[in-house]
Amino acid sequence: MKRTAKPEFLRPPAFAYQCAVRGGAQPALFCESVALERLAASHGTPLYVYSAAMIRERIRAFAHAFRSVPHTLCYSVKANSSLAILRLIARAGAGFDVVSGGELERVLRVDGHAAKRVVFSGVGKTVPEMELALRAGILLFNIESASELEALAETAARVKRQAAIAVRVNPDVSAKTHPYISTGLHEHKFGVPIPEAGTLYSKAAKQPYLRVAGVSVHIGSQITDVSSFAAALERVAGLVRTLRTEGHDIRYVDAGGGLGISYEGAAENFAQRISAYARAVLKPLRRSNVHLLLEPGRSIVGPAGVLLTRVIYRKTNNSRRFLIVDAAMNDLLRPSLYRAYHEIVPVTRSAEDTETTDVVGPICETGDFLARDRELPVVREGDLLAILDTGAYGAVLGSNYNTRGKPAEVLVDGAKARVIRDRESVRDQMRLERL
């Protein structure tokens, strides 16, 4: 067993260790002013907990970093689509990036006037989804193929609603990230090669119900090397100049999203990270005179969430140790899908000794793990663990595998905590089935 120091903080301003009783009990993990132990006792585990303060702070940081140019923050709904989270983001003044009709309906549910701040991305938009977006009056369609352009032109003409469009270009730039979440190379299904984009713009300009309005690019997710953004936007800026020379009125550049977060160690300096990102994006566009659209998701909500789970059993197979917990791959898929790392900490720090262990769930799959070969403080059966940075691509990727209900979700705002999604029961899961 090794010795480890007790941390004084984790993810300020959202998550930090505090002593509930001055000079008394061991430090316990809080979300803002609410003890996570209390939330687990009230609502059970597994349990997602989100910080409203963290989300607001990061939206303000984006606004400050890009204050020198006209811009709209279009939060990527796929990162976390809980209605209460979307309403919080809408009230902070942001717009939305959607990739399905369902996501658009969620946005319209929380803010009926939000459509004018919505961009619709994705390679497989259906005609019913196009109709929904046209009737809602969204800001921009990001077009990804010639066939999609034709379908949108026909749909817009039939419903007699004009559609503003941008072509999503594939700049053939490496995002230097996991291959499953890299989207900017020619081998990927996303976007149109830049040399072919001009043909689509010419076709769009001839359609009476389509209006050429912008250029879009998105090269991937969890990108920490901002030079990838700079390289992509250099190519976009060149295309904007060419298109304007050809007579197209390019008003918008959609720079996509993809800014990564730190999943390991103490709190990152987000102000510095967002400033470096802004410089990388803005420098290639400095004389383009465009309205910039940004599609952050993970960088807004990722560090604002934790997944609470309770240790069910301790187990040893030969020399390998396991902590079997009540959260599983159906609750948090990222470790199994991407071998993604999430820091895991005890909710109450009562031991200085550490051990190397696997943290696994109860699902009948060897791939059901949350961490492998992880050095953690020694915990007992019944203790609570917090899996950090699960606000993005956590609950939204959940499933009912093994007929497990999805966890409840709680939003904390200062000293207030409220359930924003009830725990799912077996009856909920079977409601749409028929014998």
Which residues are identified as catalytic? 364
CA–CA separation, 321 and 140 (whole Å): 52
CA–CA separation, 167 and 151 (whole Å): 14
Q: How far, in whole angstroms, is CA 416 from its chain's centroid? A: 24
Per-residue b/e over 300-317, b at no fewer than 16 CB within 10 Å?
bbbbbbbbbbbbeebeee
CA–CA separation, 213 and 237 (whole Å): 14
* List of E strands, 115-209: 118-120, 140-143, 163-170, 192-193
Residue 368, helix vs strand vs coil = coil
CA–CA separation, 122 and 191 (whole Å): 9
Q: Which of 25, 30, 55 is nearest to 40 (CA)?
A: 30
Backbone angles phi, psi at 281, to 5 degrees: -80, -40
Per-residue b/e over 140-159, b at no fewer than 16 CB within 10 Å?
bbbbbbeebbebbbebbeee
CB 213 within 8 A of CB 251: yes
With tokens 């999609």, the residue in question is 148
